[in-house]
Chains A and B, each alone.
Chain A
Amino acid sequence: MKKFYKIMIAAFVLMFLIAACTPATADEPVVEETEVVAPETGEEASEEEVVEEPEYILIGNLQDETGGMAVLSTPLTYAATMKIEEINAAGGINGRLLKLVTYDTRSDVTEAINAYTRMVEQDQVPVVLGPPISNIGIAVAPVAEELQVPIVGLFMVESAFKQESGEPWTYMFLGQNSDVTQGSIMGQYSYDQLNVRRSALLYNNQNSYSAGIGMAYKAQLEANGAEVIIEETYAWGDQDFRAQLTKIIAEDPDSIFFPGYPAEIPLILAQAYELGYEGLMLSDNSVPPTGLSPNTDPEANKNCYYPYGINPEDPELQAWVAEYEEKFGVAPLAQSFSGADAFGLIVTALEACGDDISSECITAELNNIKGYEGFQGTFDMAADHQPSSLPMAMMKIVDGAQVFDMWYLTSGAVE
């Protein structure tokens, strides 16, 4: 029996040493039907040394694969995978093929820091595709400042890409509108176009995304002279919002703004409708696809308006959407489109860098991005590391399907 222990301990130690010393092979592009394909490097087997061959550019991918936020992170991996296949088929960037090195953050801050450190130090990635989870972004920002490898992600809370002083974090770049921008645009649109004057706010006060957008919306309304007459909160995992909704409806608001995640949006829509509310239901860019029919009763979502990153009626997008659905078996989320753009920013920087695939060059190029044409529109990378004046597509739901209304900025409608 003691021999067993001896061997086991030796094996574990050996395992750790081997794994630590071997630069990780990149994951194969993730396809929905199969499990994560394990690379040939086994734990105890003799490993093939996957040294960074000159033909490959490694791009780090810091996502939540097994935690509670996996469903929101996977779209980025999918979008990046599609883009990589397309680029590699055309010969890569300047003759180099792209490879994604994905590490799981498990929705845990410490994990994320370790994962980022590992991909920078062990795998020597020059650039990282970051997560859509703001808290992870906030936590990794100071580490990125030290390790100096840029991260382009969807962490929309301002403290993820801006320091307390107002200066941007040198190595953090946001690939979509921040929570403040999205909330403000929605607030302005609601005021101008929907005549919202007495709104209610229902948000998840444990979720920085929901809280951030909610607060920005409220501030924008108040700046215009309207008011939020009642605020209610809910917690992670809540499925029943009737208590909050009953209280809200009793105050007779003209609209309910409920920024949240795709899981709770259809529930809130259905429950508000069941409680007899007939006013406006306003939400954020997490409404599709769950807030649309057939997941939601068309009677319940008929007064629903929300901002979105793209105009889904755009015919060029339809082809991409179809390919995405066929490849991965799920409908794209907002994060698929903005994720594609975030990755596209990385690609643009890589292309501009030519042979100098270094973090310094990539960071400089990311700062210089002008007129990038993404799914979300054409934008520059502004000085504060978020897209400059990127309008959002204001959508409404008609007969259960989404219909485009107009492009909007905080300054008003865009022609």
Chain B
Amino acid sequence: MEFRLVLQQIINGLSLGAIYSLIAVGFAMIFNILKFSNFAHGGVLGFSAYAGFLAATKLGLPLFPVILVGMLTGAVTAIIIEFIAFRWIRKRNGQLVYFFVTSITMLMLLQQILIIYFGKAFDYYPITLIKTKVVHLGELTIATNYILTLIATVLAFSLLTWVLKKTKVGIAIRAASNDLVATGLMGINADFIVLATFAVSGMLGGLSGVLYGLSASLTPQIGQIVVKGFIASVLGGLGSLTGVAIAAFALGLIEVFLIATIGSGLSPVVIFFIMVVFLLVRPQGVAGQSFVDKA
């Protein structure tokens, strides 16, 4: 009985981690390439979640088309964000803090737009979108949605790794993540690389938006879950998507563990201490390279 409790909590933690890792990988793409925390990713997530919602309710589409709609919305939103918010700062080689400020302003802006259009009512994805709600393994329960997210994360991850290692665009992106300027000097169109990165990040954001939206209640503030991606990316370390994924799962597990032991009220306090200790002890993150701030 005790053992079953622990096992179920582990599953809960991993399920949460699956959601976080999908969000984190999208976030980390920008984090790795452009070296800044793109909070606007939360706005992408929110927009995609609502786009999927509209597709499911107004157009009555089934699950996979809804996901595709979400991914498309995510990519488009991310590209627009790149143009409006980041392009000029990047061109001017602006300091890190400008990226922080713009990205978080963008998050607020997108959230506010959602509040204007959707703030007056409660919205949910139709429960008919996923037929079986849960999968039972003996006495343990896993929500189907989380299994879906896990599969999506693994797929996205593998696909991403393949693209980054084997395709021209991917190799260019990896080069850009090492040194954007040098890559430009080599004749590769840096602007295009950046756009491609945002597009991919946006698609991941859209995917995570829909999958997260399925298991949550749709509020305009849904994008704020992006902070989990932020936490996982920084803890995961620069230059390694694997590290980010691991950090995200660890975060999910730790959160569940803390709730199960000291309760939800004091969890943020413990998490803060864990964060600080971790950053001091292992500044390169879970699997990242050492990196010095842009001079």
Chains A and B bind each other: yes
A: residues with CB less than 8 A from B are 32, 35, 66, 68, 70-71, 74, 205, 232-235, 237-240, 242-244, 246-247, 250, 262-264, 266-267, 270-271, 274-276, 289-290, 294-297, 330
A/B interface sample: 5 pairs, CB < 8 A? A66-B119, A71-B119, A205-B265, A237-B224, A247-B260
Give the CA-CA distance A267 to B122 in the complex, in Å: 13
Q: Are A294 and B126 in contact (CB under 8 A)?
A: yes
Q: Are B5 and A266 in contact (CB under 8 A)?
A: no
Closest to B127 in A: A297
Given the complex, which residues of A lie within 8 Å of B264, measured CB to CB? 205, 232-235, 238, 244
Assuming the A-B contacts A237-B221, A239-B216, A267-B216, are A246 and B9 also in contact, with contact meaning beta carbons closer than 8 angstroms in the complex?
A: yes
Q: Are B143 and A274 in contact (CB under 8 A)?
A: yes
How many of B's residues come within 8 Å of A, CB to CB?
A: 38
Q: Are B263 and A264 in contact (CB under 8 A)?
A: no
Q: Are A243 and B141 in contact (CB under 8 A)?
A: no
Given the complex, which residues of A lie within 8 Å of B126, measured CB to CB? 294
Question: Is the CB of B15 closer than 8 A to any CB of chain A?
Answer: yes
Question: Is the CB of B84 closer than 8 A to any CB of chain A?
Answer: no
Q: Tell me the smallest distance from the CB of A254 to a CB of chain B, in Å.
A: 18
Give the CA-CA distance A237 to B139 in the complex, in Å: 29
Q: Mask for B118-134, Cβ within 8 A of A = 1, else 0? A: 01111010110000011
Q: Mask for B217-250, Cβ within 8 A of A = 1, else 0? A: 1010100110000000000000000000000000
Q: Are A32 and B120 in contact (CB under 8 A)?
A: yes
Closest to B2 in A: A250
With A71-B119, A205-B264, A290-B217 known, 9 other A-B pairs at CB within 8 A are A240-B12, A242-B16, A243-B260, A263-B122, A267-B215, A274-B141, A275-B141, A276-B139, A294-B126
Give the CA-CA distance A32 to B121 in the complex, in Å: 10
Closest to B133 in A: A274
Closest to A300 in B: B133
A70 contacts which of B8, B16, B120, B134 (Cβ < 8 Å)? B120
Q: Tell me the smallest distance from the CB of B9 to a CB of chain A, in Å.
A: 6
Q: Are A233 and B8 in contact (CB under 8 A)?
A: no
Question: Is the CB of B115 closer than 8 A to any CB of chain A?
Answer: yes
Q: Are A330 and B120 in contact (CB under 8 A)?
A: yes
Given the complex, which residues of B lie within 8 Å of A297, measured CB to CB? 127, 133
Q: Tell me the smallest distance from the CB of A3 to a CB of chain B, in Å.
A: 26
Given the complex, which residues of A lie within 8 Å of B16, measured CB to CB? 240, 242
Give the CA-CA distance A264 to B127 in the complex, in Å: 15
Given the complex, which residues of B lie within 8 Å of A74, measured CB to CB? 120
B122 contacts which of A71, A242, A270 (Cβ < 8 Å)? A71
Give the CA-CA distance A36 to B115 in the complex, in Å: 13
Given the complex, which residues of B lie within 8 Å of A68, measured CB to CB? 221
Given the complex, which residues of B lie within 8 Å of A263, measured CB to CB? 122, 217, 219
Q: Tell me the smallest distance from the CB of A272 to a CB of chain B, in Å.
A: 11
Closest to B215 in A: A239
Give the CA-CA distance A307 to B139 in the complex, in Å: 33
Question: Is the CB of B259 closer than 8 A to any CB of chain A?
Answer: yes
Q: Tell me the smallest distance from the CB of A251 to a CB of chain B, in Å.
A: 10
Tell me which of A234, A238, A250, A266 has the highest count of chain B C-beta atoms within 10 A of its own C-beta. Answer: A250
Assuming the A-B contacts A242-B15, A243-B256, A250-B5, are A71 and B217 also in contact, with contact meaning beta carbons closer than 8 angstroms in the complex?
A: no
Tell me which of B122, B127, B221, B255 has the highest count of chain A C-beta atoms within 10 A of its own C-beta. Answer: B122
Give the CA-CA distance A291 to B18 in the complex, in Å: 26
A244 contacts which of B112, B116, B122, B259 (Cβ < 8 Å)? B259
Question: Is the CB of B1 closer than 8 A to any CB of chain A?
Answer: yes
Q: Tell me the smallest distance from the CB of B135 to a CB of chain A, in Å.
A: 10
Q: Tell me the smallest distance from the CB of A229 to a CB of chain B, in Å.
A: 15
Given the complex, which residues of B lie within 8 Å of A267, measured CB to CB? 215-217
Give the CA-CA distance A275 to B141 in the complex, in Å: 6
Assuming the A-B contacts A274-B143, A275-B8, are A264 and B260 also in contact, with contact meaning beta carbons closer than 8 angstroms in the complex?
A: no
Tell me which of B15, B139, B263, B264 has the highest count of chain A C-beta atoms within 10 A of its own C-beta. Answer: B264
Q: Are A290 and B124 in contact (CB under 8 A)?
A: yes
Closest to A70 in B: B119
Q: Are B259 and A243 in contact (CB under 8 A)?
A: yes
Q: Are A242 and B217 in contact (CB under 8 A)?
A: no
Within 8 A of A (CB), among B15-43: 15-16
Tell me which of A239, A264, A289 has the highest count of chain B C-beta atoms within 10 A of its own C-beta. Answer: A239
Given the complex, which residues of B lie within 8 Å of A266, measured CB to CB? 124, 217
Given the complex, which residues of B lie within 8 Å of A330, measured CB to CB? 120-121
Given the complex, which residues of B lie within 8 Å of A235, measured CB to CB? 264-265
Given the complex, which residues of B lie within 8 Å of A270, measured CB to CB? 133
Given the complex, which residues of B lie within 8 Å of A290, measured CB to CB? 122, 124, 217
Q: Tell me the smallest distance from the CB of A107 to a CB of chain B, in Å.
A: 11
Given the complex, which residues of A lie within 8 Å of B119, measured CB to CB? 66, 70-71
Given the complex, which residues of A lie within 8 Å of B260, measured CB to CB? 243, 246-247
Q: Are A232 and B115 in contact (CB under 8 A)?
A: no
Give the CA-CA distance A275 to B5 in the complex, in Å: 11
Q: Are A246 and B8 in contact (CB under 8 A)?
A: yes
Given the complex, which residues of A lie within 8 Å of B112, measured CB to CB? 66
Give the CA-CA distance A86 to B205 in the complex, in Å: 47
Given the complex, which residues of B lie within 8 Å of A264, measured CB to CB? 217
Closest to B219 in A: A263
Give the CA-CA distance A264 to B134 in the complex, in Å: 19
Tell me which of B120, B133, B134, B225 has the highest count of chain A C-beta atoms within 10 A of its own C-beta. Answer: B120
Given the complex, which residues of A lie within 8 Å of B9, measured CB to CB? 243, 246-247
